[in-house]
């Protein structure tokens, strides 16, 4: 029996890589050529990994279901990110809201699946996202939640455990929490 361990779940677009915001709505990169890792993200992820926290990306990619993006392009972007960042696994939901699947955030399906496959302690884990769906999925899975407060997330109605400017700020807070837990155990 494996001992369950805490992890960090990360939304992809807007948390790890830059989005293209059009009329207040963020859009993912269309290709690897458009994929730009945000400043401070490699260092933040390295810090989390050095703390012994596995890193899982959980990302909705509904443009595939809508026919405006291909799964091949999404997977190429994911591989590009995995080749440059300490990501343990990437979970993708290709459905649109009308599909009513259990994997599309705000449902916790991707987090639950990762927890089952990698023996993770969800109540000890963290979810970092830039939309209410990320926060709601993390909360539904029992994780502590962080909302990266971007202009397009200002109107999101959710109650994260913390609002942060970016992944580096979330990583600093997560490391503090993990170290306090270790000191008190």
Domain layout of the chain by residue ranges: 8-184
Percent of the chain clearing pLDDT 90 (strictly above): 89
Per-residue tokens: 84: 């440059």
Which of these, 148, 126, 162, 137, lies nearest to 54 by C-alpha position?
A: 126
Give 8-184's CATH code, choosing from 3.40.50.300, 1.10.10.10, 3.40.50.1000, 3.40.50.150: 3.40.50.1000
Q: Is the pLDDT of residue 155 over 80?
A: no
Would you state the pLDDT for residue 157?
A: 79
DSSP E strands, the chain: 8-10, 20-22, 25-27, 55-60, 89-93, 126-129, 144-148, 162-164
Split at pLDDT 50, 70, 90, the class of 84 is very high
Strand order across the beta sheet in which 8-10 lies: 89-93, 55-60, 8-10, 126-129, 144-148, 162-164
Q: Using CA atoms, how far apart are residues 54 and 31, in angstroms rounded to an integer?
A: 26
Tell me the C-alpha distance between 42 and 36, whole Å. Answer: 12
Q: Which of 13, 130, 156, 166 is catalytic?
A: 13
Residues 158, 147 contacting (CB under 8 angstroms): yes
Given this model, what pLDDT does residue 108 score?
Answer: 98
Would you state the pLDDT for residue 26? 92
| Distance between CA atoms of residues 147 and 157, nearest Å | 11
Average pLDDT over residues 148-174: 92
Q: Is 11 a catalytic residue?
A: yes
Whether residue 40 has pLDDT greater than 80: yes
Q: CA of 77: how far to CAs of 71, 83, 131, 140, 172, in Å? A: 10, 10, 20, 27, 26
Give long-range contacts, CB 8 A cutoff, 24+ apart: 33-38.
35/77, 35/80, 35/81, 37/81, 37/84, 37/85, 38/166, 38/167
Place of tokens 């502590």: 144
Q: State how far the alpha carbon of 36 is from the alpha carbons of 12, 90, 179, in Å.
A: 11, 17, 31
């Amino acid at each position: 029996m494996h001992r369950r361990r805490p992890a960090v779940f990360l939304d992809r677009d807007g948390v790890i890589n830059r989005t293209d915001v059009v009329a207040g709505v963020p859009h993912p990169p269309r290709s690897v050529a458009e994929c730009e890792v945000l400043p401070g993200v490699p260092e933040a992820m390295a810090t989390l990994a050095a703390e012994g926290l596995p890193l899982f990306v959980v990302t909705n990619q509904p443009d595939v279901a809508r026919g405006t993006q291909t799964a091949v392009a999404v997977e190429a972007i994911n591989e590009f990110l995995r080749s440059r960042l300490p990501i343990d696994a990437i979970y993708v939901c290709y459905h649109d809201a009308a599909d009513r699947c259990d994997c599309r955030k705000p449902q916790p399906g991707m987090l639950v699946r990762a927890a089952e496959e990698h023996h993770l302690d969800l109540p000890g884990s963290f979810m970092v996202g830039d939309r209410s769906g990320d926060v709601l999925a993390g909360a539904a899975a029992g994780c502590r939640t962080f909302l990266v407060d971007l202009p397009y997330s200002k109107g999101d109605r959710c109650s994260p455990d913390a609002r942060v400017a970016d992944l580096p700020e979330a990583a600093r807070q997560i490391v503090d929490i993990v170290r306090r837990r270790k000191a008190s155990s």
